[in-house]
């Protein structure tokens, strides 16, 4: 009975300790409480290792930063966005940010925990993205990192994978083999677990505000997703997807744009 009581107490303690919001409440209005079981330092270490491996593989294939002009453009846009992250969380200003471009036909970009950004050239070329549209998608990916959505997904996966017993062991500092197994999942989980719909909506909202604060037109987020939608005609209905349906995503972005437009206008006036 005593052991059960201690386990329950540990679970409750960890549950309360692991629930918090990672970013400040701003114009975007993102303030959901998140379940963060795994320590941020561990996740950042995993992501740095995975990012280094990705860079190494791209270098071997001669696809890393193969287009100097595109690299300069992407880094210029990204640096303007990064300069605004302190509004959402002051500690992010000190992250070891890194921005690279890989020659790859996929329409994709990502920002790993700790500020490791990768943009694939297909995203720029296939939709003929403007600077404002690139800012919208890179801002969206930065927002995922600021909200620590990767850490949140991995924390949830840890509980699903190892159960309440491992959760209690983690809380009491005796996780043993389960902790080792969880660490082994590392970057594999980051890439294999998709963001949920709510996480995508949060990244849309914060990314829009981030881009506006950096002086990029918030209306570009709408044209971006219209172009992306045209490239993915076979996308499943929202009910069957973790991503919001394009028409819903666009409607929400249009509704938020007037709220962040003063930030954009103020940034352009400087």
Mean pLDDT computed over every residue of the chain: 83
Q: Over the stretch 249-265, which tens digit does the pLDDT of each residue have?
A: 899 999 999 999 999 99
Q: Where are the domains of the chain?
A: 40-148+194-269
What pLDDT, in 10s, does the model give residues 129-181?
A: 999 999 999 999 999 999 999 888 887 777 776 655 555 555 445 444 444 45
Residue 39 binned pLDDT confidence (cut-offs 50, 70, 90): confident
Q: Compute the C-alpha angle 237/108/267, nearest 5°.
A: 100
Active-site residue identified among 98, 102, 133, 141: 141
* Rounded Cα distance, 228 and 217, in Å: 18
DSSP state of 64: B
Q: What is the mean pLDDT of residues 108-118?
A: 95
Distance set, CA 156 to CA 35, 123, 159, 206 (Å) = 7, 30, 5, 22
Beta strands in 103-168 (DSSP E): 109-112, 116-120
What is the pLDDT at residue 247?
A: 85
Least confident range from 69-73, 230-234, 256-260: namely 230-234
Q: Looking at 103-176, which runs of residues are DSSP E strands?
A: 109-112, 116-120
For residue 110, report the phi and psi dihedrals to the nearest 5 degrees. Answer: -155, 160
User: Cβ distance 70 to 100 under 8 Å?
Assistant: no
Tokens for 33, please give them: 């409480």
Provide the H-helix boundaries in the chain: 2-17, 40-60, 68-82, 121-125, 131-146, 149-172, 177-192, 197-213, 220-231, 246-269
Our answer to whether residue 198 is catalytic in this structure is no
């Amino acid at each position: 009975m005593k052991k059960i009581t201690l386990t329950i107490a540990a679970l409750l303690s960890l549950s309360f300790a692991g629930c918090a919001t990672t970013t400040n409440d701003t114009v975007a209005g993102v303030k959901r409480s998140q379940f963060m079981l795994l320590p941020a330092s561990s996740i950042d270490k995993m992501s740095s290792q995975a990012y280094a491996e990705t860079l190494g593989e791209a270098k071997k294939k001669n696809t890393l930063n193969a287009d100097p002009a595109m690299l300069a453009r992407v880094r210029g846009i990204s640096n303007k966005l990064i300069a605004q992250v302190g509004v959402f969380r002051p500690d992010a200003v000190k992250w070891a940010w890194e921005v690279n471009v890989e020659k790859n036909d996929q329409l994709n970009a990502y920002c790993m925990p700790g500020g490791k950004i990768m943009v694939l050239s297909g995203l720029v070329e296939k939709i003929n993205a403007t600077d404002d549209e690139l800012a919208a998608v890179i801002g969206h990916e930065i927002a995922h990192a600021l909200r620590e959505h990767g850490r949140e997904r991995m924390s949830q996966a840890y509980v699903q994978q190892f159960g309440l017993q491992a959760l209690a062991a983690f809380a009491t500092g005796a996780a043993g083999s389960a902790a080792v197994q969880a660490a082994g999942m590392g970057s594999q989980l980051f890439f294999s677990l998709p963001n949920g719909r709510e996480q995508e909506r949060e990244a849309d909202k914060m990314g829009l505000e981030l881009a506006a604060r950096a002086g990029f037109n918030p209306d570009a987020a709408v044209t971006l997703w219209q172009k992306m939608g045209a490239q993915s005609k076979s996308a499943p209905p929202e009910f069957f997807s973790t991503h919001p349906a394009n028409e819903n995503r666009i409607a929400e972005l249009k509704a938020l744009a007037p709220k962040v437009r003063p930030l954009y206008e103020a940034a352009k006036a400087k």
